[in-house]
Structures are given as C-alpha cells and as structure tokens.
Chains A and B, each alone.
Chain A
Amino acid sequence: MNKYLLLALATLAFRADAVEFSQVQADKSTLSFGYTQMGVPSDGKFGKFSAAIAFDPAKPAAASAQLEIDLASIDTGSKEGNDEVAGKQWFDVKRFPSAKFVSSSVKPLGGNRFEVAGQLTLKGKTRAVSAPFTIKQQGTVAVFDGSFTLKRLDYAIGEGPWADVGTVANEVQIAFHVVAGAVPAKK
C-alpha cells in the first residue's frame, strides 16, 4: 500500500467523520399517517412540525432527534375531519396543542438502516416508541425515511364513541421523511 492510498483513505475517513446532519429542511420534510376506517385505507399529514436532529454517520449511537408537532396543523383530507380531530375526543388541541418525540437511543441495523427509540408524548401521555429508518446521503444532504405503528388508544386519541376500533382502527401508521443538511461535526 503506497502512501497516497493511505492518504486518500485517511481523507475519506476524515470526511465521513467530519459531518453531522443537523440542518433540518422543514419545507422538504413531511410527517404523515395512515389508518383504516371501515376497512377503507385513509391517510393524512401534519403540515407544521419542527425537528432538531444530530446524526453523524460515523457515530450513529451518538445521534439524537427531537420532534415537536403542531397538532392543529393536521390535514385528514376533509375540513369536517380536521374540525373533528381537533376536538376533545381526539387531540383536544386547546389543552394539548403539540405532540413531542424525544429520542433516547439510535442503533445501527446494518447497511443504511437504523432504529431510533424514544418517548412520544401525545395528549398528556408519554409512551416508549421505536422506529426503523433508512438514511440516504446525497452530498451534503441526508434523507431520513422511517415509519412505525402506534395504537391511538394508548394516547386516548379518539374517546367516547370513537373508541370503537371496529370503525376507526386502533393502529395508526406514522411515516416521517426528514431532509437535513450537513454541518462540520462538533468534536
């Protein structure tokens, strides 16, 4: 092995170490959800959320993520639906305007796959959740794509008559797509 190759490898290693993806591009990131009602697949999204992440591909275990979701920004696909889920039986956005996710750990699953675990607080209830995700690096930008399933009744989302999971399913699939730019890693 000649010294030029060594130098090139060192440079590559240095470059991989030297970036941390933490500049979230809110306009390119999305947070969506899917569920079924009467067996009918339906979906929606949250229009407003803020994310603070720090992900160094060389040190995934040190990565962290925090998400704060403006629940009033929900789009269920119809105005009638949006008005309904803002109400007391659903998100009760007057008392609980936002949901929060705080990561506790990130572990590699091999290749570009990872799993983030953390606490999700929704409607005053905090539960542990974990989500596998992939990362695609394109130059100085990384795209994080992941999803997980939560049970809405764990958070009392849909109370009273809406607690009937035979109409609106208990399982809700959450999908996140976060685009973040790189900055030089903190040492």
Chain B
Amino acid sequence: MPAANRYTATAIALHWLAALLILGAFPLGLYAHELALSPLKLKLLSYHKWLGVTILLLTVARLAWRAMHRPPPMAGSISPWQRRAAHGLHHLLYLVLLAIPLSGWLMSSAKGFPVVYLGLLQLPDLVAKNAGLADIFKEIHEALNAGLLALVGLHVAAALKHHFIDRDDTLYRMSPFGKEIQP
C-alpha cells in the first residue's frame, strides 16, 4: 500500500491522542459532577478542565495541520452521499471539540472560578460571575456533550462498517498500526 493512502503520522498521532483525551475527560466530567463537594471532587473537576483545555488546544493544532495537509483520498467505492456525510460528520466533530471546552470555560468563568491550566497558568475569565449565565452554559455544555456522544458513535460505527463490511481502507488510513487490509 503506498504511503500516500494514509494520513500523515502527525495527523494519526493527534487523532488518537484526541480520542484518548476525550475518553478521559468525558467520564471524568460526568463522575465529578455527581460527587458531593469534597477534595476529590475539586481535584477531578480541575483535571477535567485541564483535559478540556488540552483538547481545545489540540483541536486548533489539528485544524491547522489539516489546513496544510491534504488527507488521503477516500476509497473509490464510497458513494457521493457517503462522502458528503463523512465530510459533514467530520466538520461537526471539529465544531463540538471546539465548542465543548469553550462552553466549559464559559461555565467556570460564570460560576466565579477561573480556569488555572495544570494548576499553573490562569486563563482569563471569558465572562463575569453570573449564576444565571452559569446555568445556561451548563445546559449548553451538557447538550453539546450529548451531541459529541452521538457523533462519536456514528464516527466509530462508520469506521467499523467500512473496515468489516465494506472491507475498504478507510480505517487503515487512520490506523496507528500500519496493517494493510487486502481487498
């Protein structure tokens, strides 16, 4: 298989790093939110915010990388509507990966707690403290995450369908293991 039919090593590394961070941040947020106020809750919420800021930075980096590098072509067997659906889904994924950390940051600011990245770097407050606004951002943060869950579900289902049913090279293009799928 020619190297041109895979994403760049950088794109692949950033993609799976993002997957890993999301896999950490998502359940961490859900769990910490349910905890009663305790040192553990304060710790986990901070870790959640640090992961979120990292995902925000990583998404910006991925978009910059994507703008400078053409992705490998999709398998020729993929129909036009599936291509459009794939592009649409990828756009939405990038959108929520920017919007979710931003809505969390806005919520934290509105609650009156600045975000201090890694406990070291204090980020500017995006809005002044405002309990009503904090509730709105909380709702938005939750709704966006429900959206993320649905989008990731579709993303994974599509990748598996291409790999196991269509037996094309879609998943291989993003695989960190250079395993080739013979048609």
Contacts and interface: CB of A to CB of B under 8 A. Distances in A.
A39 B40 contact: no
B121 to A, nearest CB: 9
A41 B114 contact: yes
Q: How large is the interface on A (under 10, 10 to 19, 20 to 34, 35 or more residues)?
A: 10 to 19
Contacts, number: 43
Nearest to B118: A39
A161 B42 contact: no
A162 B113 contact: no
B73 to A, nearest CB: 46
Contacts of B37: 80-81, 84
A36 B49 CA distance: 16
B46 interface: yes
A34 to B, nearest CB: 12
Given A81-B37, A84-B37, A161-B38, A40 B114 contact: yes
A38 B40 contact: no
B39 to A, nearest CB: 4
B114 to A, nearest CB: 6
Contacts of B111: 77-78
Nearest to A39: B119
Given A80-B37, A84-B37, A161-B38, A38 B43 contact: yes
Interface string B103-147: 000000001111110011010000001000000000000000000
A179 B53 CA distance: 43
B39 A164 contact: yes
B36 to A, nearest CB: 8
A161 B36 CA distance: 13
Contact of A77 (B40, B45, B46, B112): B112
Contacts of A84: 37
Interface of A: 37-42, 77-78, 80-81, 84, 161-162, 164, 167-168
6 contacts: A38-B45, A77-B129, A81-B37, A84-B37, A161-B39, A161-B40
